[in-house]
């Protein structure tokens, strides 16, 4: 045994370079696996962290469905009931205000004024800590006129401890008033225990009493919600749906019984939010996982490629060794030791390299995110996470692969006849027929796959819908997946079987390959559709991608000969390339598996590059387009959280006189509150603006699968329907909605058409004949359904549902989950009661068009001009309250909403680009190896009259051909997938040609380097010497 080890070490040291190069390639391959694992772990963990952070220790939350406020007694009741069982029960008030620092004229709106029931304060709930002293700030000790704000807010208001600022609120009639407060403290951070985003700088705190005295309600001791923490969560961040819901039911039953008037609802907020968040990020993580898998495949291809070379070389040597009397066992062990060493060394270095790259990529992505103006997210996302389990597992898998591929020749050596090897020419192109027999294993594996596929199909035929059908597919997810699986198996089976039945090989390989490729499309379709429904079909998407890889590789491999024949024909046209072309193309065919592996590595990674590149470009173009449409000429929005006083409506004229760049200002009227608590509608005073928004409170984030939607969608039913809205299968109505959106009724905004026509008849004498248009959330309505809303006189106004909008002409970018937008005729609008009344938004059309910089500058000037007004300001009302404005540049809002996507895409692009670079380096090494192997042959070429250049050219042509082939296949599949995604949201595919050409240059450049350097070096060897070279 010792002798064998010594022997193999000798072999290794003799073939040092080979050994090192192989280990290097294995390391590169494994680094791809590792890097992917790290990033995957990082993404997953960090999303969870954010989640845990922002929900503090809250498990349940209590809101009133029909009231904003309810009495604090509710929480007292709960405490009496559950004080022991729950970790904490806290009444809370949360209220949105504006803050203004008159001294510096600085203004911030949409600030969350918060407080928490002080009677029950415990350490469990965490706390807020002073910026200066680091001591916990006790909110209950604050005076009525004292406030605690965040350092960022202090900074933005240019204020400090001790300064007096103004907060603006609305009274119960919707009229604005202001209140002066002194900054008592600036807090540093909020303990994680406290619910809410700790990074949100728009959170300010006052004492419970102070807030209660400010908020507009007649209820004594009002609160807005109760947060509840359940004991178990301390150990497990997530209770689990079951436990959480159990507690929820418990609380709900008490509240329903004791406080029926307030319609109190308990929500499993932590579990709900987790589900929402996971749903939200699942799109990204699933795409990342798909990418990761593909990158890993590229790594494995790389390893297989170099090991295949070793394999060919070894079979030769093994024959020789056995011919001179070496024992099988010895040979086996010596090679086993070598390959294990390669695997382990490569594994260790790959691990280190992968971690290095992972950390580096992580840094890059974080810097990039920060640079892209999303510091909040980038701060918390992508802190590096190295999950030891998955890392070790992936390393083991990769090492095992490299060892297995390395040892196959050693294992096979047992069956190889010595004569075959020694006598044969160098290559073993027909390894499958080496023993004159066809191997049995492809037959068995192929048969097994086909059997699996057929049984699945038969089962489907008997019990469900076989093959694709829109209905069965969309509604019964399982069936789609199983159909997909069945076909995937059959495709694989056909491919395997073809190795057994040589006669039909070409045909069956092509069929299998095509089947797999077409399955890709389906896999993605399923995955995307499920994602839209909130489901997760990662595995199908991943299998789909795998299918693409296997399919494309199979088809190209099958047709390699005819492809190269075409190429050869092309080369015969020129005298100079005739011989070179023949040599290069024949060589590719002779080393088919190597060629296929090389090509596949290129194709696999490039397909991702192209996919993500085109998708990013498509998205930015598509959304810009949508956005421009959305903006309908408007570039800026001036908004105030406090409604502008109508009597001061000379504000727009003043602005217009002040700034030449302003072309037109459109006021949008808001603050119309329906006599239904929590619903407001916006209606413009202009005759021809049909614009209305109905805001309903808390209606949709909470899912209850059991409830049914009540029809017709009347006001009474509306409440009951609230909790049901989001469970509606949007896809079910998707097509109808999309179809409908093409048929809009004409809606004008100040003479500008913003919607197209609908087919509904319009009878202006009959209010019921006027269609209304509802936002996307209400897809479950059928065209023509009657929808009722309460009018000012208390009666219900019935309207016909006229279709849904695919975009909403609101310029308030903070439309959130709670918003249901409707567009009604002004006639209908006039029948609604109006309580609080004023202008909230002005839309500004400028002479700059969509020019970013100019409009951006203008928005700054408008803010400065408006907010620095004195007490005689236009923006000061009645008792001297100043209500300041914010001027948004609409593109900014757009970019903001787009930023997260862009960040994700950028991150993916970097990740994939790194993969590409590593892959190309690996191919460089592989190419180097393969040229070295051909030293003798190059001598022969030189002896028959090939110049150095011609030799290099032959080597280059080979790799160039494979590179370009990979490029093309990558380009086609990548863009195909991008197109699938784009088509889903009705965007046109936009291909970033500059980027494509850069990739082209990169690939051609690397290929030229990878081929020319070793090619030239080999050509330089004097032919006489090259000819003496053996193996």
Q: Which residues bind other proteins (CB under 8 A)?
A: 424-427, 429, 572, 575-576, 578-579, 582-583, 586-587, 589-591, 936-937, 939-948, 950, 1022-1025, 1027
CB of 509 to other proteins, least distance (A): 21
Phi and psi angles of residue 807, each rounded to the nearest 5 degrees, phi first: -145, 160
CB of 592 to other proteins, least distance (A): 10
The burial class, CB within 10 Å (0-12 / 13-18 / 19+), for 346 is buried
Round to whole Å and give the CA distance between 540 and 482. 10
8 A C-beta contact, residue 225 and residue 63: yes
Round to whole Å and give the CA distance between 962 and 824. 61
CB of 13 to other proteins, least distance (A): 21
Nearer to other proteins, 889 or 942 (CB): 942
Nearer to other proteins, 273 or 585 (CB): 585
Round to whole Å and give the CA distance between 252 and 15. 75
Q: In Å, what is the CA distance from 157 to each residue of 106, 183, 638?
A: 5, 12, 19
CB of 424 to other proteins, least distance (A): 6
CB of 1026 to other proteins, least distance (A): 9
Nearer to other proteins, 209 or 586 (CB): 586
Round to whole Å and give the CA distance between 923 and 301. 10
Q: In Å, what is the CA distance from 586 to each residue of 572, 579, 945, 962, 1011?
A: 14, 11, 18, 13, 17
Going by C-alpha positions, the residue among 738, 283, 274, 275 that lies closest to residue 529 is: 283
CB of 536 to other proteins, least distance (A): 48
Nearer to other proteins, 388 or 945 (CB): 945
Nearer to other proteins, 180 or 1024 (CB): 1024
CB of 574 to other proteins, least distance (A): 9
Nearer to other proteins, 584 or 839 (CB): 584
8 A C-beta contact, residue 552 and residue 973: yes
58 SS3 class: coil
Cβ-based neighbour number of residue 859 at 10 Å: 22
Q: Is the dihedral of CA 753, 755, 756, 762 positive or negative?
A: negative
CB of 423 to other proteins, least distance (A): 9
8 A C-beta contact, residue 252 and residue 116: no
Cβ-based neighbour number of residue 503 at 10 Å: 8
Nearer to other proteins, 101 or 946 (CB): 946
Cis peptide before 575 (omega within 30 of 0): no
Round to whole Å and give the CA distance between 728 and 723. 10
Nearer to other proteins, 392 or 590 (CB): 590
DSSP E strand boundaries for 23-139: 60-64, 70-71, 86-101, 106-116, 128-130, 136-137
CB of 571 to other proteins, least distance (A): 9
8 A C-beta contact, residue 819 and residue 693: yes
Instruction: Give the strands of the sheet with 886-889, arranged side by side.
Output: 662-670, 838-846, 636-644, 886-889
CB of 32 to other proteins, least distance (A): 31
CB of 317 to other proteins, least distance (A): 17
Name the β-bridge partners of 841.
Answer: 639, 668
CB of 1029 to other proteins, least distance (A): 11
What angle do the packed helices 269-323 and 388-412 form, to 10 degrees? 20
Nearer to other proteins, 452 or 1017 (CB): 1017
Nearer to other proteins, 814 or 1030 (CB): 1030
Q: DSSP per residue over 569-612, as a string?
A: HHHHTSTTTHHHHHHHHHHHHHTHHHHHHHHHHHHHHHHHHHHH
CB of 519 to other proteins, least distance (A): 34
Nearer to other proteins, 915 or 939 (CB): 939
Contacts of 696 (CB under 8 A, 6+ apart): 678, 679, 718, 722, 818, 819, 820
Indicate the length of the chain as a whole number.
1031
Q: In Å, what is the CA distance from 68 to each residue of 91, 178, 224, 682, 696?
A: 14, 21, 6, 19, 11
Nearer to other proteins, 162 or 945 (CB): 945
- Tokens 């609080």 sit on residue: 836
Contacts of 467 (CB under 8 A, 6+ apart): 483
8 A C-beta contact, residue 194 and residue 56: yes
Round to whole Å and give the CA distance between 254 and 262. 13
Nearer to other proteins, 890 or 926 (CB): 926
CB of 945 to other proteins, least distance (A): 3
- Return the structure tokens found at 180: 């002066």
Angle at 368 between CA 367 and CA 371, to 5 degrees: 85
Nearer to other proteins, 455 or 943 (CB): 943
Round to whole Å and give the CA distance between 454 and 437. 29
Nearer to other proteins, 742 or 1028 (CB): 1028
Nearer to other proteins, 313 or 617 (CB): 313
CB of 602 to other proteins, least distance (A): 22
CB of 1031 to other proteins, least distance (A): 12
CB of 297 to other proteins, least distance (A): 28
Nearer to other proteins, 149 or 954 (CB): 954
Nearer to other proteins, 370 or 427 (CB): 427
CB of 339 to other proteins, least distance (A): 26
Helices (H), 810-889: 826-829, 852-867
Angle at 743 between CA 740 and CA 749, to 5 degrees: 115
Cβ-based neighbour number of residue 744 at 10 Å: 23
């Amino acid at each position: 045994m010792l002798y064998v080890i010594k022997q193999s070490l000798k072999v290794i040291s003799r073939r040092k370079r080979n050994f090192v190069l192989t280990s290097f390639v294995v390391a590169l391959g494994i680094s791809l696996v590792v890097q992917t694992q790290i990033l995957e772990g990082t993404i997953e963990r960090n999303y969870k962290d954010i989640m845990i952070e922002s929900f503090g220790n809250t498990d349940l939350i209590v809101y009133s469905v029909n009231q904003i406020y309810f009495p604090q007694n509710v929480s007292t009741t709960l405490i009496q009931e559950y004080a022991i069982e729950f970790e904490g029960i806290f009444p809370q008030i949360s209220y949105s205000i504006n803050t203004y620092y008159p001294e510096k004229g600085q203004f911030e709106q949409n600030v969350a004024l918060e407080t928490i029931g002080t009677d029950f304060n415990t350490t469990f709930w965490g706390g807020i800590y002073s910026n200066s002293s680091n001591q916990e700030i006790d909110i209950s000790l604050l005076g009525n006129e004292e406030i605690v704000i965040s350092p960022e807010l202090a900074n933005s208001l240019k204020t400090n401890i001790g300064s007096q600022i103004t907060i603006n609120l609305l009274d119960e009639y919707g009229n604005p008033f202001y209140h002066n407060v002194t900054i008592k403290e600036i807090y540093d951070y909020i303990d994680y225990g406290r619910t809410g985003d700790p990074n949100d700088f728009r959170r300010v705190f006052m004492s419970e009493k102070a807030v209660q005295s400010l908020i507009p309600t007649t209820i004594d001791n009002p609160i807005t919600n109760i947060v509840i923490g359940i004991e178990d969560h301390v150990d497990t961040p997530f209770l689990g749906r079951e436990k959480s819901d159990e507690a929820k039911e418990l609380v709900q039953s008490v509240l329903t019984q004791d406080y029926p008037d307030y319609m109190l609802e308990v929500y499993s907020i932590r579990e709900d939010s987790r589900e929402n968040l996971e749903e939200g990020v699942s799109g990204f993580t699933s795409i990342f996982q798909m990418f990761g898998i593909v990158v890993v495949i590229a790594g494995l291809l790389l390893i297989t490629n170099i090991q295949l070379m070793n394999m060919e070389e070894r079979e030769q040597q093994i024959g020789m060794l056995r011919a001179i009397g070496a024992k099988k066992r010895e040979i086996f062990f010596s090679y086993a030791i070598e390959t294990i060493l390669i695997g382990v060394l490569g594994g260790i270095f790959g691990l280190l390299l992968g971690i290095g790259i992972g950390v580096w990529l992580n840094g890059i992505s974080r810097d990039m995110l920060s640079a892209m103006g999303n510091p909040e997210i980038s701060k918390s996302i992508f802190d590096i996470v190295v999950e030891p389990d998955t890392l070790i597992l992936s390393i083991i898998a990769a090492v095992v692969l490299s060892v297995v591929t390395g040892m196959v020749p050693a294992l096979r050596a047992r069956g190889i006849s010595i004569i075959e090897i020694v006598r044969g020419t160098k290559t073993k192109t027909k390894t499958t027929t080496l023993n004159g027999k066809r191997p049995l294993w492809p037959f068995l594996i192929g048969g097994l796959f086909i059997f699996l596929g057929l049984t699945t199909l038969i089962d489907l035929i008997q019990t469900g819908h076989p093959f694709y059908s829109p209905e069965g597919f969309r509604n019964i997810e399982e069936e789609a997946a199983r159909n997909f699986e069945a076909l995937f198996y059959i495709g694989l089976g056909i491919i395997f079987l073809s190795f057994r039945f040589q006669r039909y090989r070409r045909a069956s390989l092509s069929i299998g390959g095509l089947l797999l490729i077409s399955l890709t499309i389906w896999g993605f379709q399923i995955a995307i559709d499920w994602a839209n429904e909130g489901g997760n079909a990662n595995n199908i998407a991943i299998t789909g991608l795998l299918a693409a890889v296997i399919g494309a590789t199979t088809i190209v491999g099958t047709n390699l000969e005819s492809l190269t024949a075409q190429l050869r024909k092309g080369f015969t046209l020129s005298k100079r390339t005739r011989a070179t072309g023949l040599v290069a193309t024949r060589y590719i065919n002779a080393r088919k598996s190597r060629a296929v592996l090389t090509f596949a590595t290129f194709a696999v990674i490039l397909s991702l590059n192209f996919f993500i590149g085109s998708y990013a470009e498509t998205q930015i173009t598509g959304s810009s387009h949508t956005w421009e449409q959305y903006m309908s000429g408007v570039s800026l929005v001036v908004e105030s959280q406090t409604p502008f006083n109508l009597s001061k409506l000379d504000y727009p004229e003043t602005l217009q006189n002040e700034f030449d760049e302003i072309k037109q200002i459109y006021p949008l009227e808001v603050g119309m509150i329906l006599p239904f608590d929590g619903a407001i509608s916006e209606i413009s005073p202009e005759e021809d603006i049909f614009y209305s928004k109905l805001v309903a409170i808390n209606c949709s984030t909470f899912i209850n699968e059991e409830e049914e939607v009540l029809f017709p969608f009347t006001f009474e039913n509306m409440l009951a329907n609230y909790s049901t809205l989001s469970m509606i299968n949007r896809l079910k109505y998707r097509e109808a909605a999309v179809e409908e959106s093409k048929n809009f009724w004409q809606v004008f905004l100040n003479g500008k058409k913003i919607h197209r026509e609908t087919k509904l008849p319009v009878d202006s004498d009959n209010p019921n004949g006027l269609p209304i248009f509802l936002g996307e959330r209400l897809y479950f309505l059928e065209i023509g359904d009657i929808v009722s809303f309460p009018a000012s006189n208390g009666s219900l106004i019935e309207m016909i549902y006229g279709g849904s909008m695919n975009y909403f002409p609101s310029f308030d970018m903070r439309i959130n989950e709670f918003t249901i937008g409707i567009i009604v005729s002004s006639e209908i609008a006039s029948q609604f009661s109006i309580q609080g009344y004023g202008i909230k938004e002005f839309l500004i059309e400028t002479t700059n068009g969509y020019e970013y910089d100019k409009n951006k500058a203008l928005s700054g000037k408008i803010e400065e001009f408006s907010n620095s007004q004195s007490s005689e300001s236009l923006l000061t009302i009645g008792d001297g309250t100043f209500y300041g404005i914010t001027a948004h540049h609409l593109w900014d809002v757009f970019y903001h909403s787009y930023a997260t996507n862009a960040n994700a895409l950028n991150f993916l692009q970097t990740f994939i680009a790194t993969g590409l670079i590593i892959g190309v380096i690996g191919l460089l090494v592989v190419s180097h190896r393969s040229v070295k192997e051909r030293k003798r042959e190059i001598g022969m070429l030189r002896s028959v009259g090939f110049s150095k250049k011609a030799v290099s050219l032959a080597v280059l042509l080979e790799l160039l051909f494979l590179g370009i082939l990979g490029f093309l296949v990558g380009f086609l599949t990548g863009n195909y997938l991008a197109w699938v995604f784009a088509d889903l949201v009705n965007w046109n595919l936009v291909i970033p040609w500059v980027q494509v050409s850069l990739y082209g240059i990169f690939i051609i450049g690397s290929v030229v380097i990878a081929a020319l350097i070793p090619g030239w070096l080999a050509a330089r060897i004097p032919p006489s010497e090259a000819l003496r070279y053996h193996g």
